[in-house]
Amino acid sequence: MRNPINTQSCLPERGRADHIKLRAGLMLFAVLFFADTMFSGCTRLAVLPENSGRDPDRNQDRPNILWLVSEDNSPETIGVYGNPAAHTPHIDRLASGGIVFRHAFSHSPVCAVARSTLLSGIHSPSTGMHQMRSRIAQPPEIEDLFYPTLLRKAGYYTANNSKTDYNLPTPHGRFWDESSDDAHYKNRAEGQPFFAVFNNHDTHESGMFLDVMSSEPVTDPAIVPLPPYHPDTPVMRRSWAHYFDRNRDMDSWVGGKLAELEELGLAENTIIFYYGDHGGVLPRSKRFLYHTGTAVPLVVYFPERWQHLAPLEPGSWSDELVGFADFPPTLLSLIGEPIPEQYQGRAFLGPQAKDPESGKYSEPGKDPESGKHFESGKDPVFLYRDRMVQQYDMQRGVFDGEYRYIRNFMPHRPNGQYIHFPFRMQAMQEWYRVWASGEATPKQSVFWVPQPPEELYHTASDPWEVRNLAGNPAYANKLGELREATRRYMLSYRDAGFIPDDMHQALTGGMTLYEYIRTDAYPLDYLVDLAEKATSRNPEHLPMLIWAMQEDYAPARFWGALGCLVLGYDAMAAKPRLITLLDDEFASVQVMAAEALGRLGDMDLAIAALSNVLDSELENELLYAVNALASLDVPAKYHDELLAKLQRIAYDEERVIRGSFQYSRRTATYLVMKWTEDTYPPIY
């Protein structure tokens, strides 16, 4: 069986004449697409007429660019990446005439955060858009750099069909000429070059919910390669088989879009990208910082006319490290436009992909201490994870092409926190059942227990990333190297993740968060050092934590209290200071102190403080409180006191909750059902 992640292609490394190439147009592809859908059980499309070589854009001096984007799928679900259970003939044929990227990443493992990086060319923690669906406003000068805006200024017709989800408070469609379910490059002016995005929903997580998985899968459950962290049960195998079926459907959609392009005579002037919007979607992929959550399939096809913009021959594999922050500068490189200096990515295709004098890759940022630029394309890819829907968490990390490093800044939480959407999947319910019944192996149990402060995986030999090497002395040098790379990125990009979101308005005044974190008022070096010590589980750092809880700067108090929570009973000496923080001006600090006191055994104080926060009308304050209650093992004697408030949050539609998505209602509902019903985890 091929390695499902770090695999060699089923195609040779270089293109050969006997491969199906898409140089003279995709007419052969259209015929093959029709034949395949006839015999594979996919949706049947009409036979496409021959094009006779017409090309309405033949006099165009710039290429059209077409993005075909699938949701929630990792490289291992695409046939060209080597998984024997994958059936994606149309993408595989596109790859045979294009370039396949072995190491492409979304940076974040969830849609809104990944898409905000993709839109802006700036890492989401550097804009403040790092929390899932946080709707953080950006300065006008940054919005002016969003790639659809720059493409429109360059004369391109921009069409988005139709997902946006950019983490912004403003209407997302305004950046495009057209953004709707009807958006299409066919609506452009005659002779106008186009940039068009088509998004496919077939592989989205919702397609794996229990209530839509009634049919038997087409893919044989016996042949799917299960990761070792999933229990090998019939239910889990059936879930994986259904997921491969969803990828079959998505692949047929890709085939239809390519056939349409050929039918319209546009194939010879259009550069085509196929990629996934982040990893997914079965448990421990989407929303998690592992390879299965952040790696995406990426295939780029250049027609013969624009082959000079490609770095490799058709049918080649690229080992270059690329991420979504690199996509906007790459677009501008392909169409011959200048790349804004504010972008933190760099072009990996086109004439600006390499410095014409040195031959080195273009450079996206500076080391804040040495002033030297990073050598992108060779440096590790920056990775980040924060609040996932209703559950707070914070992780940062890097991948260098061989090793993955993860720094957990909330190690008191397990990865397996209750989040409504994934728990609607039968696979997640099955995994939880096996673990809760004591039947799980050690590798299958790690997901459900508190995280270690650091994780290090040799992904090249451990593709499912289950052997944490962070505590192995033989890997101390690599651990230190990637720890420092992660810190360098956080400092260079002015990472906003160290500020609790209920403090944003008070700290920023009239500025945007993007502007505030670039001022001297944001002591990032100190906060990073404090947060690293607070989450190290080292009692020697307790004096620093006690000192931090007395700071005037509120984020320092938050991290001091969180560090005591992580230490548990080793923080007993900090109890008097924690009690004073129950009256802090910020709910996030109150909640961290209350949860820490609960862990120290003073549940009366903890519950009283959390109950007070439940009276808030602010979404982020409520989220902190219900997160703490979900994490604490709250004794039954406190349930009645809390249930009335939780039920009002969960079910009272007239209650005013000021915030973006009111995710607090989901966790409140979870707690009500957990404390009042027999089934657990509650599925609603």
Rg (CA), the chain: 25
Residue 503 DSSP symbol: G
- d(Cα 515, Cα 206) in Å, to the nearest integer? 37
- d(Cα 561, Cα 544) in Å, to the nearest integer? 11
Q: Which two tokens stand for residue 408?
A: 């957990």
Q: Which two tokens stand for residue 105?
A: 């990443």
Q: What are phi and psi of 68, to 5 degrees?
A: -110, 115
Question: Known catalytic residue: 111?
Answer: yes
Q: What are phi and psi of 192, to 5 degrees?
A: -80, 130
Residues 69, 199 contacting (CB under 8 angstroms): yes
Element (H, E) at 275: strand 270-276
- d(Cα 334, Cα 329) in Å, to the nearest integer? 9
- d(Cα 556, Cα 564) in Å, to the nearest integer? 13
Choose among 55, 35, 59: nearest CA to 45. 35
Choose among 74, 76, 277, 73: nearest CA to 166. 277
Q: Which two tokens stand for residue 317?
A: 């594999």
- d(Cα 632, Cα 627) in Å, to the nearest integer? 9
What percent of the residues of the chain are helix, what percent strand, and what percent coil, each to the nearest 5? 45, 10, 45
Position 486, amino acid: T
Strand-strand pairing, 270-276 and 64-70: parallel
- d(Cα 412, Cα 679) in Å, to the nearest integer? 25
The active-site residue out of 10, 42, 111, 564 is 111
| DSSP symbols for 494-517 | T-GGGS-GGGHHHHHTTS-HHHHT
Q: Which two tokens stand for residue 10?
A: 């089923």
Q: Which two tokens stand for residue 107?
A: 């940076």
| Residue positions annotated with a catalytic role | 111
